[in-house]
Amino acid sequence: MDDFWTNALWSLAPTVLVGLIFWMIMRSILRADRTERKVYAKVEAEERAKLGLPPATGGAENPPAV
């Protein structure tokens, strides 16, 4: 019986590890994208202010239609 549970754990370990690695990679990609969008919106707002243009109609949550 002990051998059964050991084999079961060793069988699941690679799947769980690959799943965790995938989750960490996707999480970092989504966080980087969110941060990049915030920074881009801030830079765009600063440039619009310099040029005296009105603020953009859409925000990060509600981008303007193209």
**How many distinct structural domains can be found in the chain?**
1
CA–CA dist 62, 55 (Å, integer) = 14
Model confidence at 1, in pLDDT bands (50, 70, 90)?
A: low
Which structural domain range is residue 30 located in? Answer: 20-50
Give a yes or no: residue 28 inside a domain.
yes
Q: What tokens appear for 4 in the block?
A: 């059964």
Predicted TM-score (pTM) above 0.75: no
Average confidence (pLDDT) over 23-51: 95
- DSSP string spanning 27-39? HHHHHHHHHHHHH
Average confidence (pLDDT) over 21-29: 98
Give a yes or no: residue 30 inside a domain.
yes
Model confidence at 2, in pLDDT bands (50, 70, 90)?
A: confident
CA distances from 14 to 2, 3, 7, 54, 62 (A): 20, 18, 12, 54, 40
Give a yes or no: residue 38 inside a domain.
yes
